[in-house]
Structure 1
Amino acid sequence: MASEDSRPAALAEPDAVSGIVKWFDPVKGFGFVVADTGGPDILLHVNVLRNFGQSSIADGTGIELLVQKTDRGVQATEITAIHPGDIQQNAVLSDIVGLDNDALMAAPIEPARVKWFDKAKGFGFANVFGKPDDVFVHIEILRQSGLSDLQPGEALAVRVIQGKRGHMAGEVQAWETVLNSADPQQ
């Protein structure tokens, strides 16, 4: 009779860790996080990211995780928060240079779906629910939100501004991020 000791040990309670995304490759389905306190790299699997409502995450993005030590190393089990880095200084989009942040924040957050996005080209389009116009999405706006890529049909929350060439996303967030941070009394 096999003893219960021959099966994998029950995993202990996960530890809360803050860190930075070292790299993440959505094609490979994983990446690694470096903890603020040091130690071994933390495996971040795409399924953990999807459970948070995102299909990608930009390198250098701040992240808070629950992790567990396994026979294969430290692995993320849940994302509790994502903190996009300050990438705005690198964005040189003529449509947003000099944009008043108060004006951007006055625009409502609207639900949208990705129509298409080409990471190599650095842009794509989304559709806001109930509105006929396409919304231009630039990769620099995406990176400011801690995202690195979008998939067709992916749900988003966007703040739409009027750019020089039409409607464009001034801010992009994963839809689940907005749902998780919404006031429950709304």
Structure 2
Amino acid sequence: MEEDDEQQRKIAGVVKWFDGSKGFGFLTDPEGGADILLHANVLRNFGQSSVAEGSHVVAIIQKTPRGMQAVEVLEITPPASEPMPAIADLCSATPEEIAQLPLLPARVKWFDKAKGFGFANIFAEKADVFLHVEVLRHSGFADLAVGEAIALRVVDGRRGMMAAQILSWEKAAIEARQTQPGGAAALAKLRLVAGAV
């Protein structure tokens, strides 16, 4: 066991690419070494089924006979990019205003990356929430799986509810605990509905 621990180290890399259908992708090594394998199972253990190219990932990596491999994802930060393209229902909302919206527990109903959109169901709500691919990308995701547990910040658009921000279940729980008023209560609600969404 000690030998494995010696071969593990914490890195802050960038997603070179990730293909959910193949079940893996690669991170760049900040020390200039070979690319680091990121398996879908390791990403799922963090609470996401995909990650956007260019996202910053803090992970524990380990040397294997086939090269370096991520064994645990600790943090994912969406890619630093240009401002989000104008989406009619989000044009007037600033990032600060979006951050003030409540986190709502949801599950992905379906998402089609080729079409650029999908829908999610919020716990205890009948209406679907529209998921736009640009909101997804700016939230650090490349794709979403049917049934995936997520948390949403939602705006009421001209055609109904629309996600303004998408967070992984784990990131939402951490944020609820750290930043929101009544964070402990919000976290308890997220835990309570996790299996029922």
* CA positional deviation for 1:102: 3.4
**Cα distance in 2 between the residues matched to 1:89 and 1:106:** 18
Aligned to 1:3: none
Pair 1:114 & 2:114 matched: no
Q: How far apart are the structure 2 equivalents of 1:74 and 1:149?
A: 25
Structure ranking higher in helix proportion: 2
Name the TM-score, length of structure 2 as normaliser.
0.85
5+ unaligned residues in a row in structure 1: which ranges? 1-8
Paired AA for residue 109 in structure 2: K
CA distance in structure 1 between the aligned counterparts of 2:42 and 2:97, rounded to whole angstroms: 34
Q: Distance in 2 between matches of 1:64 and 1:105?
A: 23
Number of residue equivalences: 179
Q: Which residue of 2 aligns with 1:57?
A: 51
Matching of residues 165-180 of structure 1 within 5 Å: 165-180=159-174
Tell me, in whole angstroms, the C-alpha distance in 2 between the residues paired with 1:181 and 1:170.
16
Which deviations, in whole Å up to 9, do the C-alpha atoms of 1:45-104 show, x marking residues without a partner?
A: 000000000000111111101001111100000001001013352523122223133332
Match of residue 192 from structure 2: none
Query: Whose Rg is larger?
Result: 1
Q: Distance in 2 between matches of 1:104 and 1:182?
A: 15
Q: Is the 8 A contact 1:87 1:143 kept in 2?
A: no
Q: Which runs of 5+ in 2 are unaligned?
A: 185-197
| 1:126 equivalent in structure 2 | 120
Does the 8 Å contact 2:152/2:166 carry over to 1? yes
How many percent identity over aligned positions?
48
Say if 2:18 is the partner of 1:12. Answer: no
The CA RMSD measured in Å over matched residues stands at: 1.9
Query: Contact 2:84/2:138 (CA < 8 Å) preserved in 1?
Result: no
TM-score normalised by structure 1 residue count? 0.89
Q: Which moved more, 1:104-113 or 1:90-99?
A: 90-99
4+ residue runs of structure 1 moved beyond 4 angstroms? none
- Select between 166-175 and 99-108 the one with higher mean Cα deviation: 99-108
The residue identity in structure 1 corresponding to 2:136 is: L
